[in-house]
Chains A and B, each alone.
Chain A
Amino acid sequence: MMCILEAKNVYKVYLDQKKTKGRLVLNNVSLKVDEGEFICLIGPSGCGKTTMLNLMAGFETPTRGEILYRGNQIKKPSWERGVVFQEYSLLPWMNVIENVKYGLDGKKLSDKEKDQIAIDCLTMVGLSEFAEQRPNLLSGGMKQRVAIARTLAMDPDIMLMDEPFSSLDEQTRKRLDNEVYDIWLKKQKTVIFVTHSVDEALLLGTRIVMFSQSPGEIIKEWKITIDHSKRDLATSEFTLLKQEILSSLQTCSCADNYTNNSQKIINIEG
């Protein structure tokens, strides 16, 4: 397998707003991503998953260490690494198809070709009949599907998804998870998917990478070789795996949070 993305001993420091405190967000993170993998990054919130993704996209640069995309250091964002953002990122004054076409803004294609690509991508996410609608008339799930279609239109080499469905309801999220999986299967793309849902990671990932509580470090990895269509979270192997992941999440995650919780219980009983 070809290595498509490699993080080598990456450190990242953030300054707080007053610039009086520096915080270590990523602590010596190394990660190798092979072509065609579906990697799920999980970990407690605030552990640096999103930072890792931003570094891989090229929105930010590592404080120390380097990230290589096909052997070259990443210096700025590029359409080769398409990001689906957590927050809604559509342009309100463009209708759905124009938003998807905007993904092709940096490419020299004729308007006709752009239209064709945009329609194909919209069809792939099942929104072709909403092409003329403005985003403000769409539900949250539909907005994220348009954002996915826009990223697909760019025809990126690797898709970076930053908790794209975390603000959606359970039903919609499940449906969109399936769509992402279908796209991964059809387009043979590499996907890096940040999530805080263990179920989502178990259903989608070929590899699950777990980050520790801040400062973020990779503390564990699981490879899942079972075919996606045969995955059933009710089977014993998956429940066991889920137990294992959840318990490692708990032991690593913030001790202070944990004590806070137990204190609360005591208060209620008293």
Chain B
Amino acid sequence: MGNQNREDRILSSLLESRDNNEHVIDVPKDRVYILITNIVTFLIGILIVLLIWQGFSVLYNEYIGSSLISFPTPLEAFDRLFELLSGSNMFGLTIYDHVFASLKRWTIGYLISAVIGVLTGLILGYCTRLYSVGIIPVHILQMIPGLAWIPIAMLIFGLGDESAIFIIAMTAMAPIIINVSSGIRKAPPVIMRVANMVGSSRLSIFSNILIPYASLDIINGLRIGLANGWRVLIAAEMVVGVAVGLGFSISQATYVVDYVSAFVCIMVICAIGLFVEKVVFVSIEKYIRRKLGLEGGA
């Protein structure tokens, strides 16, 4: 609908300027329109989730549920969320402490795996001979579910933060390596020939050719790794004996039958994930696309 109107308006102004024998005119970029469309689309998506949640909780509480504990509705959860945001206690700490603790583990674990993963990916992608051998352990690593690392984490680090960080790092690494190395291998042969003919140094080949060609894949790998890390973090916190964190809070909430708080934690987890995905990574990707000359003008 919106597009139709827009085209129609452009046509009218084109027809007006037709006397000057023009058939091309500049169209002002309708930033506000695009922004509003994006926001509305996003809100509708969220609304659908909330509606399903609400519908199910009503259905459950009225007809299915036989127990004394009711299924939390979105409204209850939001109430509790605001309560917690204003500083009230959840398992001995504020929600900010829990979020901060989780974010800290996530950041450290992820940074470790990003550094190792990107470097390994670059090397594997560059050395064709090494790749065919080196990618096999990476594929094996990818097949190991995050929580399967628990015994190994316990063995090496015992209970606590380090175990959680280790599990995150191991889970995030494989997709990063795989994407980075396959991105590096995508540089067209003719460009590699140009580089060899010109006599580029290895450093210059990486910075001028390989990394730019791989940059979208690198971002993609980092993105998948980040999401993997986040998901496994929450799960790991439930089991490796940390006393603070969103995952820990969810498991505690289950024990003490405080399902509303559990739902709040899930909401916070989703909000953080959405923010990283929709705001951080989308803008990085846009920036790279423009920089690469894949999108937009000079």
Contact = CB atoms under 8 A, between A and B. Distances in A.
Contacts of A103: 198
Interface in B183-238: 188, 190-191, 193-201, 204, 208-209, 212
Interface in B257-298: 291-294, 297-298
Interface in A125-147: 132-137
Contacts of B199: 78-79, 105-107
A85 B298 contact: no
A57 interface: yes
Contacts of B204: 105
A85 B193 contact: yes
A77 B294 CA distance: 30
Contact of B293 (A76, A82, A87, A135): A135
Nearest to B200: A105
A95 interface: yes
A89 interface: yes
Nearest to B290: A93
Contacts of B188: 87, 89
Interface in A84-103: 85, 87, 89, 91-95, 102-103
B298 A105 contact: no
Given A57-B197, A105-B200, A154-B198, A89 B190 contact: yes
A259 B197 CA distance: 42
Contact of A85 (B190, B208, B292): B190
A225 B77 CA distance: 90
A189 B197 CA distance: 17
Contacts of A133: 298
A89 B292 contact: no
A100 to B, nearest CB: 11
Contact of A102 (B198, B293, B297): B198
A118 interface: no
A78 B199 CA distance: 6
A93 B212 contact: yes
A95 B298 contact: yes
Given A85-B190, A102-B208, A133-B298, A93 B197 contact: no
Contacts of B291: 93
A52 interface: no
Nearest to A136: B293
A105 B198 CA distance: 6
B13 to A, nearest CB: 25
Interface string A94-122: 11000000111111000000000000000
A258 interface: no
A76 B191 CA distance: 16
A103 B196 CA distance: 10
Nearest to A54: B193
Interface in B64-92: none
B206 to A, nearest CB: 12
A92 B294 contact: yes
A42 to B, nearest CB: 22
A238 B293 CA distance: 46
A77 B193 contact: yes
A154 B193 CA distance: 14
Given A87-B190, A91-B209, A105-B204, A59 B196 contact: yes
Query: Which of B193, B198, B209, B297 has the largest number of chain A CB atoms within 10 A?
Result: B198
A91 B208 contact: yes
A83 interface: yes
A87 B194 CA distance: 12
Given A78-B199, A102-B198, A102-B208, A137 B292 contact: no
B298 A77 contact: no
A81 B193 CA distance: 12
A23 B204 CA distance: 36
B24 to A, nearest CB: 16
Contacts of B193: 57, 59, 77, 83, 85, 89
A102 B199 CA distance: 10
B192 to A, nearest CB: 9
A76 B209 CA distance: 19
Given A105-B195, A136-B294, 12 more contacts: A59-B196, A77-B193, A79-B197, A87-B190, A91-B208, A92-B292, A93-B293, A105-B199, A106-B200, A132-B298, A133-B298, A154-B197
12 contacts: A59-B193, A83-B193, A87-B188, A87-B190, A89-B188, A95-B298, A106-B198, A106-B200, A134-B297, A137-B298, A150-B194, A154-B197
Nearest 3 A/B pairs, CB to CB: A106-B199, A92-B293, A77-B197
